[in-house]
Every structure is written in structure tokens, then in C-alpha cells.
Amino acid sequence: MKQRRGVVRGVFAGAGGDLALAGLSTQLFALNATAREFVLTKSKVHLQDRSMLNIHAVLRKIDNKLISWLSAERQGLERHRRGHVRDFYHWGGPMNGQTARAEFIRSLIQNSGVERVVETGAYQGTTTEWFAGFELPVVTCEIDRAAYAFARKRLENYSNVEIIHANSVDVLKQLSQRDTIHAKTLFYLDAHWREYLPLADELALIFRYWRHSVIVIDDFAVPGDAGYGYDDYGPGRALVPSLVHAVPGAPETLYYPSVPARWETGLKRGCVVLSTDPDFEAALAATPQLRPVRRGD
């Protein structure tokens, strides 16, 4: 059968006369969507799904460059508007795409009667959105303006989510003045990345004000399983047990994933779980996906 090949060269479409950078970015995205290779046969046109010249990657780079010229607030909103899956599921989904982690946290919420969730470090709201699905009140915070604008937009239709643009330690101080400190609260501490590592200060505030709390720290070293990654920002700033034990009031026993890293999915980041509340501690001891390690063991 005789075939002719050609390339449909897309025309700029989409945002019309919008001369703003955001509009131009929309136009490029529209070009991305309309450029296709086609094959003509006798009676039919078959669209072929070929990533021709990797046009998606090239246009995404141009798109990113244009967005980087916007203010931080508009960068976040524009990233949200263009709707790339990579922006919404940057690390492969909630909890870094780790299904074993997600399952033990889900079961902890169910079995120990968690009433509220507080997350530090929302980034673009992926894990926040997952927590919001449990229909419990969720408070999260984010220091980066662009990430905050993205997450705020993403979560605007969740009436159970409060997102605060501030440093996590200031947010915990603010929350410690509310009546909600008496509720059973799950803390998901994930505000790392920057020069100042707030973890020790966050823990000190939680130990002081929240009597009924359970804490999960992401990016934490898992003893005996080097397959799990963790954050190390230099001397005294690695996410290891000594950092937790140095905080006054820290419990003697810390809990780690019992699922070996090779059976975890996604980014395989380590974590630690701890509580100073005897009821929560009993729930942790009864969770098969967790194993206890006592200080000094």
C-alpha cells in the first residue's frame, strides 16, 4: 500500500491575543499538542504517536524558561495552570510514590484514631492532597513562595485544608496557641532542603505542646537497611537517630519501616516514626510494617 509521510506543522493556537508571558507559554503548549506525525494510506490518515524530535522536552524547557521570568507567585500559579503531571506528582506521587509508607500511615490513621494532620514542607501539595482525602483537618506550611502559590491553588477546593506561607517553626508556634493541641495529631515533618534545618526545633515544640501526637519524619536514615535514602546536610545536620535523641523529651524507642527497601516502591526514602504518647506508642508497636529500635541498640 502506497504511503506518504509528512509532518503537520502546528500553528500557534490557544491563548489568542494574550501577549503576556503566561499566554505565550500557553501557545507553546498548544503547539506541543498539535504537532503530530501522520501517515497517509489510500483511504485513511493514521496519527502516529512518535515523540518526534523530542518536541515535548524542547517545548517544556522553553516553557520552564518563560515561567522562570515571572514573579514567584505567578510562577506557582502558571505551573499549576499548565497542568504537567511532573509538577503535580514530582516524586512519583504522595509519600514520594512509596506504597508501603502510604499503607502504614493510612493504617495508623485508621487504627489509632488520628483526628488531625500537620505537615511541614508542602512543596506543591502532593502529599497534602493525599492526607486531605481522609477528610480530617489538615494544616500544612511552605516557605517557598512559588511552591506555596501552586499548592494553595491545588488545594483551594479542600475545605479541610489550611495552608500557611511561613517557616515551619513559626507555624508550629502559632498552632501551639490553638485549642487543637489537645487533638490526636499526626505530624508529617518534611521541611528540609534549606540552609536552616528546622527539625530539632520542630520536635522540641511538638514534645512540649502536643501530648497526643505521633510524628513521621521523611528522609530519615533507616538502621540496618542502606537501601533507604536519607538527607545529610553535613556535620550535625544529618537525619539520623542522634538528631532526635538530642532533643529534650524524645522517646527512647524509634520505629522504622520493617518492609525492606527492595520491596518499597517510588523513591525509597527512609523515615522514622515516634511518639511520646503511650496510646500512640502501643499502636506503633502493633503496626507490622514498623519495627522498634531502642536507643543504644
Q: Nearest-CA neighbor of 182 among 55, 270, 277? A: 277
Q: Nearest-CB residue to ligand SAM?
A: 121
Per rule CB under 6 A, count of chain residues that contact ligand SAM: 20
Minimum CB distance to ligand SAM, residue 147 (Å): 5
Residue from 31, 97, 104, 121 touching ligand SAM (CB under 6 A): that is 121
Q: Does 191 bind ligand SAM (CB under 6 A)?
A: yes
Strand locations in 235-289 (E) = 253-257, 271-275
Nearer residue to ligand SAM within complex by CB, 117 or 274: 117
Q: Give SS3 for 46.
A: strand
Q: Give SS3 for 34.
A: helix
Q: Does 147 bind ligand SAM (CB under 6 A)?
A: yes
Q: Nearest-CA neighbor of 161 among 182, 147, 176, 140? A: 140
What is d(CA 174, CA 186) in angstroms, rounded to the nearest whole number? 17
Number of C-alpha atoms within 13 angstroms, CB side, residue 213? 25
Residue from 12, 38, 193, 263 touching ligand SAM (CB under 6 A): that is 193
Q: Does 215 bind ligand SAM (CB under 6 A)?
A: no
**Strand-pair category, 138-141 with 4-8:** unpaired
Q: Does 167 bind ligand SAM (CB under 6 A)?
A: yes
Nearer residue to ligand SAM within complex by CB, 59 or 139: 139
Nearer residue to ligand SAM within complex by CB, 82 or 145: 145
Residue from 63, 78, 142, 264 touching ligand SAM (CB under 6 A): that is 142
Q: Does 141 bind ligand SAM (CB under 6 A)?
A: yes
- Stretch 221-260 residues interacting with ligand SAM (CB under 6 A): none
Classify the phi-psi angles of 190: left when phi > 0, otherwise alpha if psi is within -120 to 50, otherwise beta: alpha
| CA-to-CA dists, residue 246 to 145, 210, 249, angstroms | 32, 19, 9
Minimum CB distance to ligand SAM, residue 61 (Å): 22
| Rg over CA atoms, the chain | 23
Q: Does 126 bind ligand SAM (CB under 6 A)?
A: yes
Rule CB under 6 A: which residues touch ligand SAM?
A: 119-123, 126-127, 141-144, 147, 167-168, 190-194, 198
